[in-house]
Amino acid sequence: KAGVTQTPRYLIKTRGQQVTLSCSPISGHRSVSWYQQTPGQGLQFLFEYFSETQRNKGNFPGRFSGRQFSNSRSEMNVSTLELGDSALYLCASSLTVDRTGYGYTFGSGTRLTVV
């Protein structure tokens, strides 16, 4: 079965612009989580959606937002990009919000570079 699909794989944006990243979870998975990965901070939780509702939110500014559609696909948006937003953005899906079965299944990520 298909894995978690993130698009695009690579993105270069200019400071001040906005960007939208997309994530399609494994078929049947209803929970989608987003993480930001940087060399200095490691993986930091952004937010989680389940059945189109935001269930958890990390400690990021309001410039970071997301949503989930009825087919469980999710998008995250970053407005007014800053250089520090350059990172690998990882999407992870799970069957439900209960991760005791197997944690997450991750996509390959979107590498965002802000110049």
Partner 1 sequence: AQSVTQLGSHVSVSEGALVLLRCNYSSSVPPYLFWYVQYPNQGLQLLLKYTTGATLVKGINGFEAEFKKSETSFHLTKPSAHMSDAAEYFCAVTPNSGNTPLVFGKGTRLSVIA
Binding residues vs partner 1 (CB under 8 A): 4, 33, 35, 41-43, 45, 48, 55-56, 58, 90, 92, 97-100, 102-109
DSSP strand pairing (110-114 vs 10-13)? parallel
3-state SS class at 73: coil
Name which of 43 and 75 has its Cβ closer to partner 1: 43
Question: Nearest approach, Cβ of 16 to partner 1 (angstroms)?
Answer: 28
Name which of 17 and 108 has its Cβ closer to partner 1: 108
Question: Nearest approach, Cβ of 88 to partner 1 (angstroms)?
Answer: 9
Question: Nearest approach, Cβ of 53 to partner 1 (angstroms)?
Answer: 13
Question: Nearest approach, Cβ of 3 to partner 1 (angstroms)?
Answer: 9
Nearest to residue 32, comparing CAs of 82, 77, 78, 67?
67
Q: Where are the alpha helices (DSSP H) in 2-50?
A: none
User: CB 21: neighbour CB atoms within 10 A?
Assistant: 20
Q: Where are the alpha helices (DSSP H) in the chain?
A: none
